[in-house]
Amino acid sequence: MKLGNYEFKYGLSLAPMAGYTDSAMRTLAKRYGAEFSTTEMVSAKAVTFGDAKTFSLAAIREEEGPVAVQIFGSEPDVMAHAAEILLAREPNEGFVRPFAVDINMGCPVNKIFKNGEGSALMRDPELIRKIVLTVRGTSPVPVTVKLRAGIDGENRNAVECAMAAEDGGASLITVHGRTRVEFYSGRADREIIKNVKKSVHIPVIANGDVTSGEEALAMLRETGADGIAVGRGAVGNPFVFAEIRAAIFGESYTPPSLGERIDTALEQLRLSVREKGERVAVVEARKQIAAYFTSFRGASALRASINRAESSEEVKTLLSYFAKANGENS
């Protein structure tokens, strides 16, 4: 699968998730086998206003790459201008430009939807076409799109929206197989992803419910998609990318030990501290650190303790006690 200057062997990526797919998570996804990833979504309007926090969300370190920057909005000209600004920024030492611009057309959150952004764009395929066309007109890199199955069960129009995006010049489409009203409940509909793949001539990435190599193979087989985007299945589990790669190549896979999980969780925290500073990083990383250990004895108590932790050293001490309680030195 070719996208811009990159050739991806199996289209394995980390899906964008607000509040999760920061630089630390993207770096670990890359280390364990993700071929590319996407930033947390950033507001096109906020970019044009020069908001510093928004620019920090869009910053990409070289070690993460390649990474697409995801923007959301509803005004074609504003979104095109935002993309232009983000792509024109001079990289600082250790930072690089995004290799693609991804347009969010799948966010189900109420405050985004009510503004006519995110998944609300799927109400108007012609607006989708116009947004992609306008952004594509100013972008020197590929423009990609993230869709859902539709708004609700009566409006499952991912095929129509995907065709509109392709007509506007999109280079790739990712489809989450749930409607907006489903959020993350139930099971992702693989049939609609299959129908999108049959209806367009550009690569299609399947997204939804992939948490193992076996599920990734089933998703590829049942949808005919060109690749897999893993979102929630990678939270506290960057190892899933190594597992999926092994499954694709028919190789054996050894799950990580508790010690490796602890080391990786602490590495994620270290990377986060580097980007955000100690106080912010510890607070924001709590939910991800705890997710590394959900299948182990004492995980609930550990989660409660980590949620009260205020420093990296405190988290490290808690994980050391947790390892000993589970019969492993760390």
> Per the omega criterion (within 30 degrees of 0), is the bond before 255 cis?
no
φ, ψ (nearest 5 deg) of residue 68: -95, 150
- Residue at token pair 């409660």: 304
CA dist 318 to 311, 324, 329, Å? 11, 10, 13
Radius of gyration of the chain (CA): 20
**Residue 42, φ and ψ in degrees, nearest 5:** -125, 145
107 belongs to the catalytic site: yes
What is the distance between the alpha carbons of residues 131 and 54, in angstroms, rounded to a whole number?
A: 21
Task: Please give the Cα distance from 66 to 64 (Å, whole number).
Answer: 6
Catalytic residue among 58, 107, 122, 193: 107
Q: What phi and psi values does residue 278 have, to the nearest 5 degrees?
A: -55, -55
Catalytic residues: 107
